[in-house]
Amino acid sequence: MTATGAANSRVLERVERVGWSCAAVGTLLCVLGVVWAPRELGTAWLLSFTFWVGLPLGALAWLCVHALTGGRWGAALRPALGAAAATLPWMLPVFVLLWPFAGTLLHADELAGEAAHRRALYQPSAWGLRSLVLLGGWCAVAWRASRRGRPLGQGAAGVILIVHLFAVTVTAIDWVMALDPEFLSMSIGAKAFTGQMLASLAVAVVAVQCGRSSRDPDDEAGRIDQGNLLLALVLGWSYLAFTEWLIVWSANLPADAAWFAARGDAWTLGFGLALVLGHFVVPFVLLLSRAYKRRTRLLVALAAWLVAMQLGEQIWLITPTARPAGPLLGGWDLAALGAVGGLWVAWFSRGFRARLLAVETLEATA
């Protein structure tokens, strides 16, 4: 192992230990939350699960895209994307712990009139079984797609990507839209898919760029490619978010308008406007500059910012509906984010370290 590889390995080992520590502390606090505030903890656990599961799901989509298109951008990011996708099986027990809270999160019995036919779909048993089946299928595909040295074929990647988009749409409906079963959005699946790809790409950019050494050859073209991909996804997410709002505003249906009205108080509205600035305006302006994308530290900082903005979007989508009288982000939310996030970061760091070592070994023997 070279000096650079040894240094990266030590850093990733420290990150892994921090992840396990956060997971342990967060889990302990969540155990207390089951006793003291089960309803609030259910919302917090759903928020944490939907954010963290989006990272491996987005990474899986990117592995399929690279298998279809090829390109140097994917070769550089594959160790991080593969490590992220390989964490998907650890989201299964996280969802199993979420399932008991479904009764307090879903309100299927309130559906009446034209929406009554959806009542059976949003029962906790059907809701949980659908998610378990989809998560199980994703785990099998992620295991195959993330194998080192065995990329997917083009035909398989194309089929998987189509089915994956459909599955993400189903889970976006179940995990977000079902909180207010009278609300309907035709773009929620595509928006979730785009957001997951944006967040997972941003994590991969941070991991790969931070793993580079000053002795490595400068990959300015690779940074520009990564910045361009981030820009494309920022534009895609912004377009879908705007069209969702525009369609609801122009239709002016009571059920859909009520969903936005629940986010109309001063704090939540201000949070939403901050998301518009932070998730679209600021990254759009910065990523237009080639000079900005050439700078490693600036690109890494913006990628980390986009991950935070994606978490902000999940907060804006979930908590005003599931917890209308509570804060946008409370203590139980932080505990759940630490518990699940610590677990995810620990396993990602371990997998990323193993993949970097495999790449270095392969280059040494070539």
Ordered per-residue pLDDT tens for the chain, 366 residues: 555 555 667 888 999 999 999 999 999 999 999 999 999 999 999 999 999 999 999 999 999 999 999 888 888 899 999 999 999 999 999 999 999 999 888 876 666 555 566 677 888 899 999 999 999 999 999 998 887 667 788 899 999 999 999 999 999 999 998 888 778 888 899 999 999 999 999 999 999 988 765 555 567 888 999 999 999 999 999 999 999 889 888 888 887 788 888 887 878 889 999 999 999 999 999 999 999 999 999 999 999 999 999 999 999 999 998 888 888 899 999 999 999 999 999 999 999 998 888 877 765 565
88-106: b or e for each residue (b if 16 or more CB lie within 10 Å)?
bbbbbebbebbeebbeebb
Q: What are the φ/ψ torsions at residue 145 (nearest 5 degrees)? A: -70, -30
Beta strands in the chain (DSSP E): none
Question: What is the distance between the alpha carbons of residues 13 and 231, in angstroms, rounded to a whole number?
Answer: 32
205, 299 in Cβ contact below 8 A? Answer: yes
Cα of first residue to Cα of last residue in the chain, in angstroms, is: 14
Confidence (pLDDT) at 11: 84
CB contact at 8 A, 48 and 340: yes
The half-sphere exposure of 322 on its side-chain side, counting CA atoms within 13 A, is 31
Our CA dihedral for 120, 125, 131, 132, rounded to 10 degrees, sits at: -150
Question: Residue 112: what residue type?
Answer: A
- What's the rounded Cα separation, in Å, for the pair 101 and 289? 46
SS3 content of the chain, % helix, strand, coil (to 5): 85, 0, 15
pLDDT the model gives residue 358: 80
- Using a 10 angstrom Cβ sphere, with 0-12 exposed, 13-18 middle and 19 or more buried, the burial of residue 215 is exposed
Q: Quote the pLDDT of residue 153.
A: 86
Q: Which domain holds residue 263?
A: 3-213+220-365
Place of tokens 């520009």: 224
Distance CA 30, CA 52 (A): 16
Q: What are phi and psi of 251, to 5 degrees?
A: -75, -35
Number of separate domains in the chain: 1
Q: Which residues of 265-280 are buried (b: 16+ CB within 10 A; e: fewer)?
A: eeebeebbeebeebbb
Return the biggest CA–CA distance within the chain. 68
Contacts of 159 (CB under 8 A, 6+ apart): none
CA-based nearest residue to 229, from 162, 289, 287: 287
